[in-house]
Amino acid sequence: MNNIVIDINNLSKVYQIDPASEKSGARTLQEDLTKMFRPSRERKGRSRRKEEVWALRDVSVQVSQGEVLGIIGRNGAGKSTLLKILSRITEPTSGYADLYGRVGSLLEVGTGFHTELTGRENVYLSGAILGMRRAEIDRKYDQIVEFSGVQKYIDTPVKRYSSGMAVRLAFAVAAHLDPEILLIDEVLAVGDVSFQQKCLGKMSEVAGGGRTIIFVSHDMGAIKNLCSRAAWLDGGELKALGSVDKVVQEYLVASTERGEWHTQIADREDRSGNGSLRFTGFHMCNANGEMITSVVAGEPIDLVLSYEREATNVTNVTFFIWIRDAFLKGMISLSNRWTGEDLTALPPNGEIVCRLPKFPLREGRYFLDLGANFNGIKADRVSRAVPIDVISGKYYKTGKVPNHPNDGDFLNEHSWHFGS
């Protein structure tokens, strides 16, 4: 590999967890003072109870210039810890990393935003916090404001902004950060969909310009789009490192075996959106309204989503179900955005049903991503929320269906006759 700009060597991070105190780090003066006056034997017994948690263990990765490395793994696998060490927010316990070039990190959108200040003031504040010099912000100011699309309100305090506007402005500042090395955590998790696309585009542009990027995400689609290589962290250790397709595939196979979707949708932590709606469950019904566990190709089916939502007025409600194959390739996008049904009269909690008159996919295992947007802003998004198994059925009257691997994924109603 030529021109290594990020050289990570046996990096480890240990957190000391004291089970006696609820919080991990901060102590109180009261605690320490009382400890001082306690008999020493008791003190020793107490300190021995400390537990060590390895957030990161002997991770070595090299990234060469211009490369985009994706980091994947479950929650708590050490992805964020790695980024925090590389961006110097926290120190490693052992090992080291060499970084050659100016480092910018984007671990959160809108870090340091202050709602009492105006948009303009926040652009400067946020830019400076992200490591831009004042002159640099001056130079990019017009671009940033134009990118954000909030020109009209730039001298209004941010507390009067809708949450969407604030996020757009924060994103715009971040998207104009151009250090040689960019560290990005799951920042694309908020904001409305079209603006996210714009930011992804801007970031790809940055990546194309010879920048080196480390990108952490749960979104395998984004990882595959942006990255050339991927590292898979599991329990703080590096499980795989290689081409993005290979590593993502290994990761998906492993998490399929582990049966990750068995987690109740309501309890899933790895979701995104502002939470004004939360999916709480999913089931499927056949034409008679009976609950079913697998789908018969060609049969009618109801996909039923349970949800809870905040009692706020919304004018534009969009639900999505994406059906993906085992490698997360999108097969079908189902949404009232396409069909045009008005779901504004959505009760505070209940079920929303998506009906497919004739299930069009061939035998196999598929995964559903669930999503809901209010007024164009992501309310909830759960990736790989549920797997569905499709079994062969009487799609065509003959009962015959294609069964060769190369016959494609879809079945479609059709007929044959002679042309006139």
Residues near other proteins (CB under 8 A) are 5, 15, 24-30, 32, 65-66, 84-103, 105, 107-108, 111-112, 114, 116-117, 121, 124-125, 128-131, 133-134, 178, 180, 209-211
Compare residues 102 and 355 and give the one whose CB is closer to other proteins. 102
| Cα 331 from Cα 249, distance rounded (Å) | 17
Q: Which is nearer to other proteins, 1 or 29 (CB)?
A: 29
What DSSP element (H or E) covers 349? strand 349-356
For 219-223, the CB contacts below 8 A with 24+ separation are 219/188, 219/383, 220/72, 220/248, 220/251, 220/252, 220/328, 220/383, 221/328, 221/330, 222/188, 223/70, 223/72, 223/248
**Cβ closest to other proteins, residue 98 vs residue 407:** 98
Label residue 397 exposed, middle or buried (CB < 10 Å: 0-12, 13-18, 19+): exposed
> Which one-letter amino acid corresponds to residue 362?
R
Shortest separation between residue 44's beta carbon and other proteins, angstroms: 22
Least Å distance, CB 404 to other proteins, is: 48
Task: Show Cβ contacts of residue 277 under 8 Å, excluding neighbours closer than 6 positions.
Answer: 307, 308, 309, 310, 372, 374, 379, 380
From CA 153, how far away is CA 393, in angstroms rounded? 57
> Which CB atom, from 17 or from 354, has the smaller least distance to other proteins?
17
Are 249 and 232 a contacting pair, CB within 8 Å? no
Please give the C-alpha separations between residue 200 and each of 8, 74, 184, 203, in angstroms, as whole numbers.
26, 22, 11, 5
Q: Which is nearer to other proteins, 60 or 316 (CB)?
A: 60
Task: Tell me the closest approach of the beta carbon of residue 127 to other proteins, in angstroms.
Answer: 8
- Name the residue nearer to other proteins (CB basis): 65 or 333: 65
The whole-angstrom separation of Cα 291 and Cα 188 is 36
Q: Which is nearer to other proteins, 28 or 263 (CB)?
A: 28
Cβ 156 to other proteins, closest distance in Å? 13
* Smallest separation, CB 185 to other proteins (Å): 9
